[in-house]
């Protein structure tokens, strides 16, 4: 049988840090920003002991420090994480099956096997032996189910989720347990009396299309049935975008300062675009207003470009769409590339 395996490295950034400092094992470790919880930054990864205190990725570091005051805070080290990730992906490719890298800490494998659990455990053993990192493996009959299965296997376990047990496992879970359904969509579904995956799967597709549009409405229905793609493309990971962002220790209150900071971020992004060797087709600007309200706007470029002046101009044009009546604590600029796949 053909299977999709989703390999997800456990507490990846924290685990890499523990390889350098074994004395951190079993302790609450929080990685983010410059490692200073008094500064404005967000959590990149929290170790499992830290998660027991309610610390989660994306949480402000100051909030994490309040939840887990005895945590060990460390700065992010992208170069080291890139190296560790590349090592893991090379290990996965050694199985000579299609490997589709999704990012630093996860990948899909396309596997033909009568015993996918045994294959998954071999993957875990080899990754552990060659990198000293632990991973969880989700097994599915498509990509969606494999990715969700990983959540039930953590940490360092194996879980199978297929059409045969989909509703048994997922049916009574809230709608935002589905990848692609966020808190806002969950609230809109709840207003329709739809609270669980079972209820969404039983909903009228025409009613969903009327509420969410002819594309998204039926798509949510398909998600509730666990339907997804089965192909795993054995292609190198290709970034879909390049971005830069900065959290300011003091709020930006003057619009001229906001424009100057946005232009600087755009210039840094243009350097990344040039290094990528592909022109950008879209530019996005992220603004986090004080105290912690985030908005993102984007625009398609008239023509694909790598020109720094054009990217800077486009970012400033997008910035003008934001209100100017609140202090700003974070700015980000993202350049998006043409997508070469159909997903």
- CATH number of the domain bearing residue 251: 3.30.1490.100
What is the domain-level CATH number for residue 156?
3.30.70.270
Are 251 and 325 members of one domain? yes
DSSP lists the bridge partners of residue 36 as: none
Q: Is the pLDDT of residue 114 over 80?
A: yes
Are 87 and 72 members of one domain? no
- Domain assignment present for residue 53? The answer is yes
- Return mean pLDDT, the chain: 94
Q: What pLDDT score does 238 carry?
A: 77
Are 147 and 91 members of one domain? yes
Distances (CA, A) of 5 to 13, 100, 123, 126, 239: 22, 10, 10, 15, 21
Q: How confident is the model at residue 340 (pLDDT cuts 50, 70, 90)?
A: low
What is the domain-level CATH number for residue 181?
1.10.150.20
Are 259 and 314 members of one domain? yes
CB 118 within 8 A of CB 137: no
Q: What pLDDT score does 113 carry?
A: 96
pTM for the predicted model, two decimal places: 0.79
Q: Is the pLDDT of residue 222 over 50?
A: yes
- What is the distance between the alpha carbons of residues 338 and 341, in angstroms, rounded to a whole number? 9
Percent residues over pLDDT 70 in the chain:
98
CA 225 to chain centre: 23
How confident is the model over 56-66, as pLDDT tens digits? 999 999 999 99
Percent residues over pLDDT 90 in the chain:
90
The residues annotated with a catalytic role in the active site are: 106
DSSP 327: -
CB 335 within 8 A of CB 282: yes
Q: Is the pLDDT of residue 185 over 60?
A: yes
Are 157 and 197 members of one domain? no
Q: What pLDDT score does 192 carry?
A: 95
Q: Is the pLDDT of residue 260 over 70?
A: yes
Give the tokens for residue 89: 């992906």
Most distant CA pair in the chain: distance in Å?
63
Are 317 and 255 members of one domain? yes
How confident is the model over 42-52, as pLDDT tens digits? 999 999 999 99
- What would the mean pLDDT of 114-125 be, rounded to a whole number? 98
CB 227 within 8 A of CB 208: no
Total domains, the chain: 4
Range of the domain at 139: 2-9+79-161
- What would the mean pLDDT of 148-170 be, rounded to a whole number? 97
Q: What pLDDT score does 23 carry?
A: 96
Packing angle, helices 205-212 and 183-191, rounded to 10 = 120
DSSP lists the bridge partners of residue 105 as: none
């Amino acid at each position: 049988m053909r299977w999709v395996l989703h390999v997800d490295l456990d507490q990846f950034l924290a685990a890499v840090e523990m390889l350098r400092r074994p004395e951190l094992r079993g302790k609450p470790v929080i990685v983010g920003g410059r490692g200073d919880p008094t500064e404005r930054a967000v959590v990149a990864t929290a170790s499992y002991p830290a998660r027991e205190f309610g610390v989660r990725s994306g949480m402000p570091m100051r909030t994490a420090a309040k939840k887990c005051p005895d945590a060990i805070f460390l700065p992010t080290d992208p170069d080291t994480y890139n190296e560790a990730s590349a090592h893991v992906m090379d290990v996965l490719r050694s199985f000579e099956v299609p490997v589709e890298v999704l990012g630093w800490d996860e990948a899909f494998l396309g596997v033909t096997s009568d015993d996918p659990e045994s294959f998954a455990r071999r993957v875990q053993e080899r990754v552990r032996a060659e990198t000293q990192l632990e991973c969880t493996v989700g097994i599915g009959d498509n990509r969606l189910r494999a990715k969700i299965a990983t959540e039930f296997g953590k940490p360092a376990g194996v879980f199978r989720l297929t059409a045969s047990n989909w509703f048994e496992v997922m049916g009574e879970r809230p709608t935002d347990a589905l990848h692609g359904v966020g808190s806002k969509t969950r609230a809109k579904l709840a207003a329709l009396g739809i609270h669980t995956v079972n209820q969404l799967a039983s909903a009228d597709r025409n009613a969903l299309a009327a509420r969410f549009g002819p594309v998204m409405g039926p798509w949510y229905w398909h998600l509730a049935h666990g339907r997804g793609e089965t192909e795993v493309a054995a292609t190198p990971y290709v970034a879909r975008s390049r971005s830069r962002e900065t959290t300011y220790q003091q709020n930006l209150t003057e619009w001229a300062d906001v424009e100057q900071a946005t232009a600087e971020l755009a210039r840094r992004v243009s350097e990344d675009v040039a290094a990528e060797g592909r022109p950008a087709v879209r530019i996005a600007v992220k603004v986090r207003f004080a105290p912690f309200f985030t908005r993102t706007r984007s625009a398609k470029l008239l023509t694909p470009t790598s020109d720094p002046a054009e990217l800077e101009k486009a970012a400033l044009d997008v910035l003008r769409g934001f209100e100017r009546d609140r202090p700003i604590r974070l700015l980000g600029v993202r350049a998006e590339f043409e997508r070469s796949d159909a997903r």
